Amino acid sequence: MVKRARTFEELCENRINWVSASEDNGFNEGISKLLTELYPDKAHFVYELLQNAEDAKATRVAFSLYQDRLEFVHDGTHLFNLEDIDSITSIANTTKIADNHSIGKFGVGFKAVFSYTKTPRIHSGKFNFEIQNLVVPYSISPLENMDANKTYFIFPFNNPKKTKDFAYMEIENGLCNLKPETLLFLNNIREISYEFNGRCYKVFKVEKEYVVSLYENNEEKPISQYLRFVKNDVDIKTNAGLMKKLSVALAYKLEEDKEQKLKIIPLNKSEHNVCIYFPAEKEDARLRFLINAPFDSEVSRASIRNTEDNCLLIREIVNLQIETMQYLRDNGYLTTEFLGVLPSSKDNLSEMYQIFNDELVNLFKTKNYTPTISGDFCPANLLYKGGAMYKNGPHISEFITNEELKGLLNLEYNQTSLWVKNAQQINSEADNFIQDLQIQSFGTKELIKWMDALDDVCMDRWENFIRNKKISDLTKLYRML
């Protein structure tokens, strides 16, 4: 078992001894290269800083980029203690190492900053220190005019392998790539700002019930909105074999329609759909909505592993989606167009994500969620799918009403609606999902086939049906036949 330092000075001495031993064995250069090159995106440590601030219960964070350094400040209520210093200066031995699913589980993520600096500085609470040789904390003087309730990170661009201009450019690009969606699944941080070269930029979020609105700068209208659902009581085992309650979430992208009413729209193919609090940039689930969980991921967090634990987390997200479908229906979000947001068999989901299609199809087949022409919702297993009676003609439901269809087919359903509401476009995402529901067809072909097989009982029902039709309806029937 590793012996923990009891004082800052003892920790410093332990780290110096480790560095000396590494240098004696020729390990130091290889370890430094390994740790600083783990992340394909060199400015990925920006997310590590956000993660640190989120864990510290920060609500506001700010980046300030200068020609010779980067500064990062947050207002987290958790200030650094000795255990945190041990964690941030260690190698894969953080305070969260027993938890494969923690947002900051690796501890090595912070080491990416050493691509830019040899001496990162941290000022937090009663501690003011500078890290040298990757792991050794040395005490330094406090900042002037330092707010005692904030934590400060300062990264001088003094790595000789990277010029100050190049470091500035890479970090500038990293900051510019911070999208408002970065805030979507964070519980604590509500505002991110950065400034460089005279440019000031801010993103913040406003939450109202399930709707999360994301804003840029001081704009009055949100740049994007999401309908987000969170489940906080998911039990999963940590590496140490302990049970821990984790949270999972999903979010649908929203857009205002012509009546300024919010509706759900699909994500663009270029938009990330899997998050580990922040976007997993190389993970494509082929979903048209966002999912988030503390997935067990590759070190870079760019993709997630196909593991039993991750499959469990995905199943919990599916359960959350099923549990919240009633809210979507009762609040006007569940429309035929919405079905195009759901995955279909034509999306060719991977084995890990196929559960979304399987469970949603079963839900819509057996519960009152499939939209009907009448405006209500019924199980797809009890519905019929029709079409135009003839080219550019009326829908067959205008000729055969729900009650008439019940009579013709001698159905004993209690429901008032029998006709599914078709997608506006054949082979669209919505139509693909409706096809997965395997709804019975009753169009022109089926009606003619039914008429050809009429027996005496069915003939009586047909004659009653015809007797109650207007001349204009019979004209449509004649044209159809």
State yes or no: pLDDT of 285 exceeds 90.
yes
State yes or no: pLDDT of 299 exceeds 90.
no
Q: How confident is the model at residue 427 (pLDDT cuts 50, 70, 90)?
A: very high
Q: How confident is the model at residue 22 (pLDDT cuts 50, 70, 90)?
A: confident
pLDDT at 447: 76
Tell me the pLDDT tens digit for each residue of 441-456: 887 777 777 777 767 7
- Mean pLDDT on 302-319: 92
Judged by average pLDDT, the poorest of 61-75, 120-134, 205-219, 459-473 is 459-473
Tell me the pLDDT tens digit for each residue of 331-364: 999 999 999 999 999 999 999 999 999 999 999 9
State yes or no: pLDDT of 16 exceeds 90.
yes
Q: How confident is the model at residue 98 (pLDDT cuts 50, 70, 90)?
A: very low
Q: What distances in angstroms separate CA 320 from CA 182, 312, 471, one per listed residue?
A: 22, 12, 52
State yes or no: pLDDT of 168 exceeds 70.
yes
Average pLDDT, the chain: 87
pTM over 0.85: yes
Q: Do residues 249 and 103 lie in contact, with contact meaning Cβ atoms separated by under 8 Å?
A: no
Question: What is the separation, in whole angstroms, between the first and last Cα of the chain?
Answer: 84
Residues whose CB is less than 8 angstroms from the CB of residue 228 and which lie 6 or more positions away in sequence, other chains included: 184, 185, 210, 211, 212, 249, 250, 251
pLDDT at 452: 74
Say whether 388 sits in a helix, a strand or coil: strand
Both tokens of 19, joined, read 């560095």
State yes or no: pLDDT of 162 exceeds 70.
yes
Phi, psi of 220 (to 5 degrees): -80, -30
State yes or no: pLDDT of 96 exceeds 50.
no
DSSP one-letter code for 428: S
State yes or no: pLDDT of 478 exceeds 50.
yes
State yes or no: pLDDT of 78 exceeds 70.
yes
Both tokens of 49, joined, read 């800083």
- Mean pLDDT on 457-471: 75
State yes or no: pLDDT of 37 exceeds 80.
no
Which of 150 and 471 is assigned the larger pLDDT? 150
Tell me the pLDDT tens digit for each residue of 388-418: 666 666 677 777 878 878 877 777 777 778 8
Type of residue at 374: S
Tell me the pLDDT tens digit for each residue of 191-212: 999 999 888 999 999 999 999 9
What's the CA gap between 300 and 47, in Å, rounded? Answer: 11
Residues in the chain, total: 481
What's the CA gap between 302 and 346, in Å, rounded? Answer: 25
